[in-house]
Amino acid sequence: QQPVQSPQAVILREGEDAVINCSSSKALYSVHWYRQKHGEAPIFLMILLKGGEQKGHDKISASFNEKKQQSSLYLTASQLSYSGTYFCGTYIYTGNQFYFGTGTSLTVIP
């Protein structure tokens, strides 16, 4: 029931864009996105609650396709500070459970 993220890892140059996908085999109630830097706590980025919802702040945004049971995180004009591991987290309707995705390692180089 753990959502699967793709790609597993990506390397970008500063200023490039990236998309991280999160897919679930179960119907989703909500999708969270977190970023975790090495040795640090995960930091909450945003939550999407409704199918079709799109959110964003600064140059990071996300969408939630309820029918496809997936969410995507968009990073535009990437900065060095965007480096880290990104996790989606999904709350499913049945089972009252929250699962973190498999994770995507993103490295931004100068």
Element holding 99 (H helix, E strand): strand 98-100
Q: Which is nearer to other proteins, 17 or 54 (CB)?
A: 54
Rounded Cα–Cα distance for residues 82 and 65 (Å): 24
- Least separation in angstroms between residue 44's CB and other proteins is 3
Q: Which is nearer to other proteins, 19 or 47 (CB)?
A: 47
Concatenated DSSP letters of 56-97? EETTEEEEEETTTTEEEEEE-S--GGG-EEEEEEEEESSSS-
Q: Which is nearer to other proteins, 33 or 82 (CB)?
A: 33
Residues that bind other proteins (CB under 8 A): 2, 29-30, 32, 34, 40-47, 49, 85, 87, 89, 91, 96-103, 105
